[in-house]
């Protein structure tokens, strides 16, 4: 799982997208989350809460249950 903040001045969102597309081209399962209103730090924002909710199930993917995004 990859995520990016579209107003991030430290890590280019384009770099994250390129990495995601590379994984997809290689046939790897990948999910990209983009947060349009955030900068590099999402601490305490609604986006931060959303990211927490979406990343918790990823830790248990090994149990072969599908994660719905």
Q: Which of 28, 34, 37, 39 is nearest to 54 (CA)?
A: 34
Separation in Å, CA 68 to CA 1, 7, 20, 46, 54: 12, 26, 18, 20, 9
Per-residue pLDDT, 24:
95
User: Does some domain include residue 19?
Assistant: yes
User: Does some domain include residue 15?
Assistant: yes
User: Does some domain include residue 69?
Assistant: no
How far, in Å, CA of 20 to CA of 30, rounded?
7
User: Does some domain include residue 59?
Assistant: yes
User: Does some domain include residue 68?
Assistant: no
What tens digit of pLDDT does each residue of 12-57 get? 999 999 999 999 999 999 999 999 888 888 777 888 888 888 887 6
* pLDDT confidence tier of residue 60, bands split at 50, 70 and 90: low
Determine if the pTM surpasses 0.85. no
Q: How many domains does the chain have?
A: 1
Q: Which of 17, 16, 7, 14 is nearest to 47 (CA)?
A: 7
Residue range of the domain that includes 40: 2-63
């Amino acid at each position: 799982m990859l995520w990016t903040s579209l107003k991030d001045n430290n890590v280019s969102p384009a770099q994250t997208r390129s990495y995601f597309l590379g994984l997809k081209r290689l046939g790897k399962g990948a999910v990209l989350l983009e947060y349009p209103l955030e900068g590099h730090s999402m601490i305490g924002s609604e986006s931060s809460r959303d990211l927490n909710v979406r990343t918790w199930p990823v830790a248990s993917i090994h149990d072969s249950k599908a994660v719905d995004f």
